[in-house]
Amino acid sequence: MTYTLALAGNPNTGKSTLFNTLTGMRQHTGNWAGKTVVRAEGEFTRSGTSYRIIDLPGTYSLYSNSADEEVARDYIIFEQPDVTIVVIDATSLERNLNLALQVLEMTNRVVVCVNLMDEAKKLGIRIDLDKMKKRLGVPVVAISARNKTGIDALFTQVELVASGALVPQPVKIPYNEDIERKIEELEPYILETLGTRYPTRWIALRLLDGDESLLQSLKANMDALPGTSQSSKEVIPHGHTVCH
């Protein structure tokens, strides 16, 4: 049994530093299919558990503003890693949490990894990890990837989430009444056509956004799935119109 992990986060938060520490020489790089975005993947074993890990491109959001964002978004939605580790910079939590919350809307299989703790300490920044954990509803662990500290504690949580021993309940971000009503209207329709394979609420939000790129990825993925009914394939091109 090998668990798949994805590293997500803003640029420059230490994802690759953590990736290199974990995988050492056992890593390979290439491009993501159809994109000129570098894909780094590696394998390692920790406490007797095997992992495959993907270093996603660093992004500020997971909408469809760039090839990097599409790659990171599609990986989380379609490949559904066992755990997405969101690497955030302890010295700029506010900006970094924006992306963390976007990931929490996509999956509950998340561990938030607060990196650059050494730097935060130097700057006199203190972080209430317990409060963060309670507010976000997922495990939060502090590390310094450069100094290789906190990695064991990180993997205690990663293993719990990967194995299903811990099922995080991420905070549900509320939108205004109008949007919440539209989400509620769309959800049964999405469930009926796509089933429970994808995060329904998140898909509803993307439909309301008129996110064409997501609709295209969704269609391409469903075309590739053997058991997908024709009716659910047909609904995708209409999604955009339905919501406007």
Ligand X SMILES: Nc1nc2c(ncn2[C@@H]2O[C@H](COP(=O)(O)OP(=O)(O)OP(=O)(O)O)[C@@H](O)[C@H]2O)c(=O)[nH]1
* Residues forming the site for Mg ion (CB under 5 A): 15-16
Beta bridge partners of 42: 27, 53
CA distance 168 to 241: 34
CB 41 within 8 A of CB 28: yes
Residue 187 CB, nearest distance to ligand X (Å)? 33
Work out what residue 144 binds among ligand X, Mg ion, none; the CB cut-off runs from 5 to 8 Å by kind: ligand X
Q: Which residues contact 46 (CB under 8 A, 6 or more apart)?
A: 22, 155, 159
Measured CA to CA, the distance from residue 27 to residue 46 in angstroms comes to 16
Q: How far is the CB of 217 from ligand X (least distance, A)?
A: 21
The binder of 2, among ligand X, Mg ion, none, by C-beta within 5 to 8 A per type, is none
- Report in angstroms how near the CB of residue 101 gets to Mg ion at its nearest: 21
**Binding partner of 213, given Mg ion, ligand X, none, CB within 5-8 angstroms per partner class:** none
Q: Which is nearer to ligand X, 11 or 210 (CB)?
A: 11
Contact of 31 with 39, CB cutoff 8 Å: yes
Name the binder of 13 from ligand X, Mg ion, none, CB < 5-8 A by kind: ligand X
When the beta carbons of 21 and 49 are compared against ligand X, the nearer one is 21
Which of ligand X, Mg ion, none is residue 29 near (CB under 5 to 8 Å by kind)? none
d(C-alpha 203, C-alpha 25), whole Å: 38
Q: Under a CB-based contact definition with an 8 Å cutoff, are residues 71 and 56 in contact? A: yes
Beta carbon of residue 114, minimum distance to ligand X (angstroms, whole number)? 10
Q: Closer to ligand X at the Cβ: 141 or 235?
A: 141
Q: Is 111:158 a contact under the CB 8 Å cutoff?
A: yes
Report, in Å, the least distance between residue 86 CB and ligand X: 11
Position of minimal CB gap to ligand X: 58
Residues 6+ apart with CB under 8 A from 225: none
Q: Shortest distance, CB of residue 7 to Mg ion, whole angstroms? A: 8
Sheet strand arrangement including 110-115: 27-31, 38-46, 49-55, 2-8, 83-89, 110-115, 140-142
Give whichever of 39 and 219 is closer to Mg ion, judged by the CB atom: 39
- The residue (of 145 and 158) whose beta carbon lies closer to Mg ion is 145
Measured from the CB atom, is 16 or 149 closer to Mg ion? 16
Q: Which is nearer to Mg ion, 31 or 229 (CB)?
A: 31
Name the site residues for ligand X (rule: CB under 6 A): 9, 11-17, 58, 115-116, 118-119, 144-146
Rounded distance between C-alpha atoms, residue 92 and residue 203, angstroms: 29
CB 29 within 8 A of CB 35: no
Shortest distance in whole angstroms from residue 145 CB to ligand X: 4
